[in-house]
């Protein structure tokens, strides 16, 4: 018996191979090694819906006799980003943190 809950938001780089453990929380017998099961998801840049049914089909391809129970709403989002967009996002966070802390320093001064 397998219990599966799709993670609501997953961020990865374009082309990165994802495993079931990356995109879902799984409770199952350890002999199944479901956390390391490679899953087939879009590899291009963009935002993609992840449906529990996609994952169930892939689990059943390897373990056809397993009963799978889906917890939650069975839906999540995969955000595939390029290195440039990730770097830009990190720079914007750093600038925002600096401005916020600088603003607090000036206000106290």
Query: Tens-of-pLDDT digits for all 109 residues of the chain?
Result: 999 999 999 999 898 999 999 999 999 988 888 889 999 999 888 999 999 999 999 999 999 999 999 999 999 999 998 866 566 676 777 778 777 777 665 555 5
Question: In the prediction, which pLDDT does 52 show?
Answer: 94
Whole-model pTM over 0.85: no
Length of the chain: 109
Spell out the residues 6+ positions from residue 90 whose beta carbon is closer than 8 angstroms to its own: none
Question: In the prediction, which pLDDT does 77 show?
Answer: 94
Question: In the prediction, which pLDDT does 24 show?
Answer: 95
Task: Enumerate domains of the chain plus CATH numbers.
Answer: 2-82 (2.60.480.10)
Q: How far is residue 25's CA from residue 5's CA, in Å, rounded to a whole number?
A: 5
């Amino acid at each position: 018996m397998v219990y599966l809950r799709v993670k609501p938001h997953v961020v990865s780089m374009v082309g990165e191979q994802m495993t079931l453990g990356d995109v879902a929380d799984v409770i199952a017998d350890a002999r199944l090694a479901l956390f390391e099961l490679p899953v087939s998801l879009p590899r291009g840049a963009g935002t993609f819906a992840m449906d529990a049914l996609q994952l169930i089909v892939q689990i059943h391809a390897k373990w056809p006799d397993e009963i799978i129970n889906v917890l939650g709403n069975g839906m999540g989002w995969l955000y595939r980003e390029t290195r440039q967009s990730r770097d830009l996002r990190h720079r914007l966070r750093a600038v925002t943190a600096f401005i916020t802390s600088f603003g607090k320093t000036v206000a106290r001064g």
